[in-house]
Amino acid sequence: MHPFQVPHTFIPGIEPPADAIAHWFAFVGQRLLVEQTPDSVQIPQLKSLSEIGLEPVRIQFLGWLDGQPCYSAELSETAIAPAGMAFSSLRELHEALTEPFFALAARAVQIVAWDRSHQYCGHCATPMIQLVHERAKRCPSCGLRQYPRLSPAIIVLVYRGEEVLLARSPRFRPGMYSVLAGFVEPGESLEDTVAREVREEVGVAVKDIRYFGSQPWPFPDSLMIGFTAAYAGGDLVCEPAEIEAAAWFKPHDLPPIPGKLSIARKLIDAFVAAASRSDA
């Protein structure tokens, strides 16, 4: 961080403030409304979406970013972007938005999806009531409470000496490789998931599993929990339904890898930086 760069501060909130200019994270499906200029992509700042001719289906107050209110909003599928704005997928915006705004967009799209899909009680089908002081809904008939859903997933960088294991999913853009990832299953610890996913996807065993960091990932509602692990044995054998190629790479000879805001890239960059220090 630059010595004069002030870090952004987000404070979650439930109860909205009085009428004020706010950041609006407004979605049609998974596509976010953004202001576009030749040099930047920004989140609209407005008192209300009605200022630009849009009427939300549902809104949720998110909290404050650097003291400014933030809202999520679900728009009709027929909503049209105003002049100078566009609806873009979060994958397209991953590199265009700054990190605090992408993180808030990830939070917002998950809350929009939760709000939309929990209008009725999953037990008795009664319309749910939004709680005032908590991000939750309660059924007035049977008392069931519903909170925004998170799907925990591990993401792991496997290393063998000065080599890193990278793999290609058929879903990746052409040529791109990344570290391995997978969802946690019921009854598993995170370390169990790391070992199982690596074994299932590329056929090798790992040891020395260490926590690295975490990142919300809104595709659709994951919490990515990052680890590093050392190679412990076995030959690379790809699971064809998940992995089309995997190989060991030297830090100075990497293939195309994910963008800088992803935890996958942070894992890879940390490995490359550590390798550079050991070579110095």
Closest CA to 92 of 41, 49, 43: 41
DSSP secondary structure, 73-85, as one string: EE--TT--PPTTE
Size of the chain, expressed as the number of residues it contains: 280
Residue ranges for the known binding site for substrate are 91, 134, 147, 215-222, 264
Is the Cβ–Cβ distance between 122 and 144 less than 8 Å? yes
Give the C-alpha separation, 31 to 150, whole Å: 20
Q: Which parts are annotated binding residues?
A: 91, 121, 124, 134, 139, 142, 147, 181, 197, 201, 215-222, 242, 264
Binding residues for Zn(2+): 121, 124, 139, 142
Instruction: Say if residues 261 and 211 touch (Cβ distance below 8 Å).
Output: no
Instruction: Note the Cα 252 to chain centre separation in Å.
Output: 28
203: left (phi over 0), alpha (psi -120 to 50) or beta: left
Binding positions for a divalent metal cation = 181, 197, 201, 242
